[in-house]
Amino acid sequence: MNQGLRKFLFFLYFFPSILVFSQSDNASDPSALIGTTLSDLIKNYGVPKNVYAVRGVSAWQDDVVFVYDNIEFFIFGNRVWQLKVRSAYNVKDGDSRNAVNRVMGEGRNFEGYTLYQLPGKAWPIMMRINWDASGRAAGLYIYRSDF
């Protein structure tokens, strides 16, 4: 067997393992997706199921949102700066405030939502959990807090 074919078979054998590892990494820490470029987002996730715009108070706060099955990517310029997820860090939509506090700690409480500081690699990361009228999680957002 020639050297080129051997290398090809080697990468063919190991590449799926590396791909699965990187996907599970993002599933366990969705904040790793913050900063993803638009081209990488489309390359890794494909065409979104839906796209909509979010208007901010000022023009620089306007976002385009790409919607996929379990995640929404908020894009400004050419990068993801915020995610909306159904679950992250052992918390999911529908969890009670007490259940979330057992997992995440107290956080900073505001009217209708709580903020939790997350460990950031290159920039500060926060998770915002919105609460419905019954005190259950009704929206999990992970974002760059310096943006």
Q: What is the pLDDT of residues 10-33, one digit of tens each?
A: 443 444 333 333 333 455 799 999
Specify the number of domains making up the chain.
Answer: 2
Express each pLDDT in 113-146 by its tens digit.
999 999 877 889 999 999 999 999 999 999 999 8
Q: Taking 80 as the threshold, does the pLDDT of residue 59 lie above it?
A: no
Band of residue 111 on the pLDDT scale cut at 50, 70, 90: very high
In a domain, 44, yes or no: yes
The DSSP symbol for 46 reads -
- pTM to 2 decimal places: 0.78
SS3 26: helix
Report percent pLDDT > 70 for the chain: 81
In a domain, 107, yes or no: yes
Same domain, 74 and 123: no
Same domain, 72 and 95: no
Q: What is the C-alpha to C-alpha distance for residues 136 and 112, in angstroms, rounded to an integer?
A: 10
Domain-terminating residue out of 67, 83, 99: 83
Same domain, 72 and 38: yes
Same domain, 75 and 112: no
Same domain, 119 and 144: yes
Express each pLDDT in 67-107 by its tens digit.
999 999 999 989 999 999 999 999 999 999 999 999 999 99
Same domain, 117 and 98: yes
- Determine the structural domain holding residue 76 and report its residue range: 32-83
Same domain, 77 and 91: no
- With contact defined as beta carbons under 8 Å apart, do 84 and 139 qualify? yes
